[in-house]
Amino acid sequence: MIFKKTDTAKTLPDDFFFGVATADHQCEAYDPKFADIQDLWEQERNLTKRDKATDFWNRYREDIELAHNLGCKAFRFSLAWSRLEPEPGQFSDSAFEHYRELLKTIREFGMEPVTTLHHYTWPVHIEKRGGSVAPDFPAWFSIYTSEVVKRLGDLITYWITFNEPNQLVYGYFKTGDYKLPPGLPFGTSYKEQMQKVRLVIPNIFRAHKAGRDLIKKQYPAAKVGANPFLLGLPRLSRWFVDWEASNLKENSFEKKGKRYTERSPLWHTDVDIVIATLSVTPERKNQIDFSETYYVNGQRLLTSAVNGIHSPSDLNNKNIALIKGSSAENTFDVLFPTSKAIIFTDLASAINALDLNSVSALLNDESLLDNYIADNPAKYFFIGGRLTEERYAVGVPKGNPLLLDAVNLTVEEFLSEHKGEDNALYGTYSDKLKVPGDAFANISKRKTLAHLSGTAPTPFKANEKLPLADKGTRLRKIQNRGYLKVAVKKDVPGFGYLNPKTNQFAGLEIDLAKKMAQTIFGDSSKIEFTAVTSAKRLPGISSIFQIFDPLLQCLSTLTTIFNANWWNLGMAGKLPEFLCPTGCAHQQDFAGFDYYWGVKYLLPRPLLRLGKASTGKYSSAPVWPGGLYNLLKIHHQLVPGHEIIIIENGCVINACNVKQDEYLLSHFAEIKRALAEGINIKGYLCWSITTNREWGLKLGPDSDFGLYRIDLDNDPQLVRKPSPSVDVYKNIIKSAGD
């Protein structure tokens, strides 16, 4: 899709402002003394950590000057609550002085600060006391806001209390998993999740009102609002979801969550779960869900003394054996671009080829190859060290959160029971298996953030038989059947091995499977094993109908309250009082929102792309500039007389074949179209001034929204390099002001 340059000859209103934005967690360096809830989330889930980020804490002046040079009149940033209030009621003078200097610098360069108080993060001490669902949360937010007003309020006109408040519900309600912290304990039913959402929505409204009252009391001319994240939808779809939210009844609220959770148990799969040396990979995550890690491994090269290979460099232009369906198939081309892969169905066949010198080495997981060295150390040996890190986890069919929770609970218990045993644990499974001493180095019992909160619902209990799950769920179907069906290996001693003499399965993964049967039924014998090869592991838990799952999940997301514009509906007085409490409506001075992606028609292909974007795959996101125009018209009618500010709008380097500069041009054209129709648009803020640490995502095409690009992983100097979009945005601003 190519967009033509828009005509920018017509002058915008004199008070219209362009700007850029960033956020504290995404740009400020990590400091363990001031760790926030997002830091814990990233550490817990092995996500990309912010580390030094863009070093904005020390280099804010440089980025502010870059924004000034673009011609911007506004600079949005957020305050780090965890830095300002590191302990309850104890405020940091040095942190406040830092932000005061930052605000002064923005004004020094002739720009208006747009200041966000809560940008997806909050102090750990808030979560320990109950978090956003606690009755006292609005009061805690008020104490924090009061201190900000007292110390910084004279430098701020535009305030945002909560960044994307409608997204915060996803910290308490999951679609496969929780998108944001804090998450809830394993086994929390969708009803309990909805009960938490039922608490957090009115709490955010109350906290916003309390914060705005404090700001306006001290500075009556201040302008306070928030910025819900909104998708572009066909007008009828947008009308429907907003109508449904406006007419929602309290007694039916919990039911609205069910369509988000369990997939139909009629979508038959051959087995319930897979425990078969299955490594977690991004490609596999698209097909199945994974449990917590139960074993850490790594790919290595095995060779034979007859082959004359002594180091990985000897393998140029040589044949290397791989096992079909193994993760080595995905890493081979990167690791050995000059070698040729020879695919085998099983290890025994690959070892035979190694013996015959038809391949020079075998690439597979270290613990799966150790036995061959143990049997014949004079013949087989490893060359080089570990080439990858492989995390073994249990595979679960997508869309079955209760089953996944039950599996995770079992994995936690299993690891806890054997904590510190390392080699001794595996000695009970095979006296031939040599396990690296660091096998458990990166594994610890998972501590969910919900464990910090005294308000968490009752989860599945350890070492007790699970209660009956909700009707219609896959877990309930398994319970009704009376036994668990598990896919395992039969030829990997120490993990999954079928003894030909006893015809009994044994190994670590067999014991883990029995532990799961114990969890679900209170009886470890209630289990049926199915032996699978590496290539047949995923097909066992992937239904033929599962290809429709992403589409149906996206449709369910688009047609329920969670995608409604419930924030601005509440501000307009159109939301039920059990969600927007009495006195909380009409408590904003401008109507703000964020817009990135949209679909003009509810067709499979764009909907699937929208679903990918919801998981952080922004380079696949569907671009629809008309969605921005529609939202501007909707807000003009929803909150007449209010200024409308586009708080966030922007694009990664390339989204669905639309380049970042084309994206900016096409969306600005829709803004001008709306202005020409008399819609009161006050400003536009481009996300973002630089590359950021995008909420746990790895740096790459899916996460770089920066006008100025920074190689966060490889450039210690963190040099800001202008993208082609810099000149485009600069020209948009200049032409609009002529």
Beta strands in 280-434, from DSSP E residues, in sequence order: 288-297, 299-304, 319-323, 340-344, 361-365, 380-383, 390-397
Residue 435 has pLDDT above 50, yes or no: no
Residue 415 shares a structural domain with residue 355: no
The tens digit of pLDDT for each residue in 223-249 reads 999 999 999 999 988 898 899 899 988
For residues 463 and 537, the model is more confident at 537
The tens digit of pLDDT for each residue in 322-368 reads 999 888 888 898 899 999 999 999 888 999 999 999 999 999 988 88
How far is it, in rounded angstroms, from Cα 125 to Cα 94? Answer: 20
Buried b (16+ CB within 10 A) or exposed e, 47-82: ebebebbbbbbeebeebbebbbebebbbbbbbbbbb
Residue 532 has pLDDT above 50, yes or no: yes
**Does residue 155 lie in a domain region?**
yes
CATH number at residue 375: 3.40.190.10
Q: Which residues contact 23 (CB under 8 A, 6 or more apart)?
A: 77, 78, 116, 119, 120, 163, 692
**Does residue 2 lie in a domain region?**
no
Residue 557 shares a structural domain with residue 529: no
What's this model's pTM, rounded to 2 decimal places? Answer: 0.82
The tens digit of pLDDT for each residue in 633-662 reads 999 999 998 999 999 999 999 999 999 999
Residue 354 shares a structural domain with residue 398: no
Q: Considering only CA atoms, which of 347, 354, 369 is closest in space to residue 297?
A: 369
For residues 87 and 536, the model is more confident at 87
pLDDT value for 575: 96
pLDDT value for 722: 98
- Tell which of 542, 567, 585 closes a domain: 542
Residue 203 has pLDDT above 80, yes or no: yes
Which residues are paired to 393 by β-bridges? 293
For residues 461 and 564, the model is more confident at 564
pLDDT value for 267: 53
Residue 598 has pLDDT above 60, yes or no: yes
Angle CA 354–328–609, to nearest 5:
155
Q: Provide mean pLDDT across the span 115-141.
A: 97
Q: Provide mean pLDDT across the span 253-271.
A: 63
**Does residue 93 lie in a domain region?**
yes
Residue 557 has pLDDT above 80, yes or no: no
Residue 314 has pLDDT above 50, yes or no: yes
Residue 631 shares a structural domain with residue 683: yes
Dihedral angle over CA of 256, 258, 261, 263, nearest 10: -130
Q: Considering only CA atoms, which of 224, 132, 247 is closest in space to residue 584?
A: 224
pLDDT value for 687: 97
Domain span holding position 413: 273-295+392-542
The tens digit of pLDDT for each residue in 490-508 reads 988 888 888 888 899 988 8
Residue 510 shares a structural domain with residue 568: no
CATH number at residue 437: 3.40.190
Q: Considering only CA atoms, which of 566, 556, 555, 626 is closest in space to residue 242?
A: 566
How far is it, in rounded angstroms, from Cα 589 to Cα 211? Answer: 13
pLDDT value for 562: 75
Residue pair 198/618 in contact by the 8 Å Cβ criterion: no
How far is it, in rounded angstroms, from Cα 231 to Cα 624? Answer: 10
- Tell which of 364, 383, 402 closes a domain: 383
Q: What is the mean pLDDT of the chain?
A: 87
**Does residue 491 lie in a domain region?**
yes
Residue 559 shares a structural domain with residue 480: no
**Does residue 266 lie in a domain region?**
no
pLDDT value for 444: 39
CATH number at residue 242: 3.20.20.80
| Confidence band of 599 (pLDDT split at 50, 70, 90) | very high
pLDDT value for 52: 96
Residue 426 shares a structural domain with residue 349: no
pLDDT value for 423: 41
pLDDT value for 265: 45
For residues 205 and 452, the model is more confident at 205
**Does residue 66 lie in a domain region?**
yes
The tens digit of pLDDT for each residue in 710-737 reads 999 999 999 999 999 999 999 999 987 6
pLDDT value for 594: 98
- Host H or E run for residue 64: helix 56-70
Residue 458 has pLDDT above 90, yes or no: no
How far is it, in rounded angstroms, from Cα 165 to Cα 356? Answer: 63
Buried b (16+ CB within 10 A) or exposed e, 701-717: ebbbbbbbbbebeeeee
Which residues are paired to 123 by β-bridges? 36
Residue 501 shares a structural domain with residue 570: no
**Does residue 194 lie in a domain region?**
yes
Q: Considering only CA atoms, which of 485, 293, 496, 298 is closest in space to residue 393?
A: 293
Range with the largest mean pLDDT of 11-20, 96-105, 276-285: 96-105
pLDDT value for 428: 46
For residues 446 and 318, the model is more confident at 318
The tens digit of pLDDT for each residue in 175-190 reads 767 889 999 887 777 7
The structural domain count of the chain equals 3
Residue 264 has pLDDT above 60, yes or no: no
Look at 71-75, 518-522, 588-592 and tell me which has the smallest mean pLDDT: 518-522
Residue 432 has pLDDT above 50, yes or no: no
Residue 87 shares a structural domain with residue 51: yes
Q: Where are the alpha helices (DSSP H) in 110-153?
A: 124-128, 137-152
Residue 571 shares a structural domain with residue 646: yes
| Confidence band of 453 (pLDDT split at 50, 70, 90) | low
Residue pair 575/581 in contact by the 8 Å Cβ criterion: no
Dihedral angle over CA of 574, 579, 581, 582, nearest 10: 30
Token pair listed for 139: 């009061």
Token pair listed for 246: 């406006």
pLDDT value for 425: 45
Residue 317 shares a structural domain with residue 447: no
Look at 331-340, 436-445, 624-633 and tell me which has the smallest mean pLDDT: 436-445
- Tell which of 354, 383, 412 closes a domain: 383
CA-CA-CA-CA torsion sign (314, 315, 316, 317): positive
How far is it, in rounded angstroms, from Cα 690 to Cα 511? Answer: 49
Residue 468 shares a structural domain with residue 371: no
For residues 402 and 59, the model is more confident at 59
pLDDT exceeding 70 applies to what percent of the chain? 87
pLDDT value for 573: 97
Q: Which amino acid is at 239?
A: W
Residue 262 has pLDDT above 80, yes or no: no
